[in-house]
Structure 1
Amino acid sequence: MPAYVVFIREQSTDQTELQLYSQLAPAGLAGHSVTPLAMYGAYQVLEGPDIEGLAILEFPTFEEAQAWYFSPAYQKALKHRLRGGRYRGIIVDSV
């Protein structure tokens, strides 16, 4: 059953760190079966506080999403994203 990783950027704090993240993050996808469904495009907040953007990635299973997120290659990039802004990250199973 597919699973989705959702990243919500609440606030950017350091553009240099976010730039480093965008340079390193693609290498973290290598070897993982992932389909980007939404990547910081147009959005409308219907409920809750405003955000700066969001990304949605589809993985074949919940376990494969976890394996990608906790992989050494993605963890190397992740530290820069977390230094560059306030985010929420979620893995959710499909129905």
Structure 2
Amino acid sequence: MTAYAIAHLRSVTANAEIVEYLQRIDATLAPYGGTFVVHGDLPEVLEGEFPGNLVVIAFPGLEEARAWYRSPGYQAILPLRTRNSDGAAIIVQGVGPEHLATDVLAGLPVEAAR
């Protein structure tokens, strides 16, 4: 099942370290099957506030996403981003094409599922 590494970068200081990070990240993704799905475009905010931008990278599964993030190649460039940006990064499991919104009810407490 596809997994996603997602970063909400609220602010980024564009400098030589960020340029280096961008020049090197693609090579860290390739061994793990990672591909950019969303990168660099400012979102159209429909509700609430969403400062900054979103980066979404797809991986074949959670194992590959975790292995990429922990890899020596990515860990070597990670400080280039974290020193020059403010944001949060997560890894999340995707859902299949048959997924329905009500499928999440099975994981909710009994009271909420009624």
TM-score (norm 2): 0.73
1:16-95 equivalent positions in 2, closer than 5 A = 16-95=16-95
Q: Which has the higher helix share?
A: 2
The separation in 2 between residues aligned to 1:58 and 1:29, in whole angstroms, is 10
Q: Where in structure 2 are there 5+ consecutive unaligned residues? A: 96-114
The separation in 1 between residues aligned to 2:35 and 2:9, in whole angstroms, is 19
Name the aligned partner's letter for residue 50 of structure 2: D
Higher relative contact order (CA 8 A, sep 6+): 1
The separation in 2 between residues aligned to 1:14 and 1:84, in whole angstroms, is 8
Name the aligned partner's letter for residue 54 of structure 1: L
Q: How many residues align?
A: 95
CA displacement 1:34-73 (0-9 Å, x = unmatched):
2211111141234454322111111111111000011000
**Aligned residues: CA RMSD:** 1.6
Q: Note if contact 2:29-2:35 (Cα within 8 Å) is conserved in structure 1.
A: no
The separation in 2 between residues aligned to 1:78 and 1:85, in whole angstroms, is 11
Q: Which has the higher strand share?
A: 1
SS in 2 for 1:31: helix
Q: Note if contact 1:13-1:86 (Cα within 8 Å) is conserved in structure 2.
A: no
The separation in 2 between residues aligned to 1:48 and 1:81, in whole angstroms, is 26
The separation in 2 between residues aligned to 1:9 and 1:85, in whole angstroms, is 7
Name the aligned partner's letter for residue 70 of structure 1: R
Whichever of the two has the greater Rg, that structure is: 2
- Same amino acid, percent of matched pairs: 37
Name the aligned partner's letter for residue 35 of structure 2: T
Name the aligned partner's letter for residue 61 of structure 2: T
TM-score (norm 1): 0.86
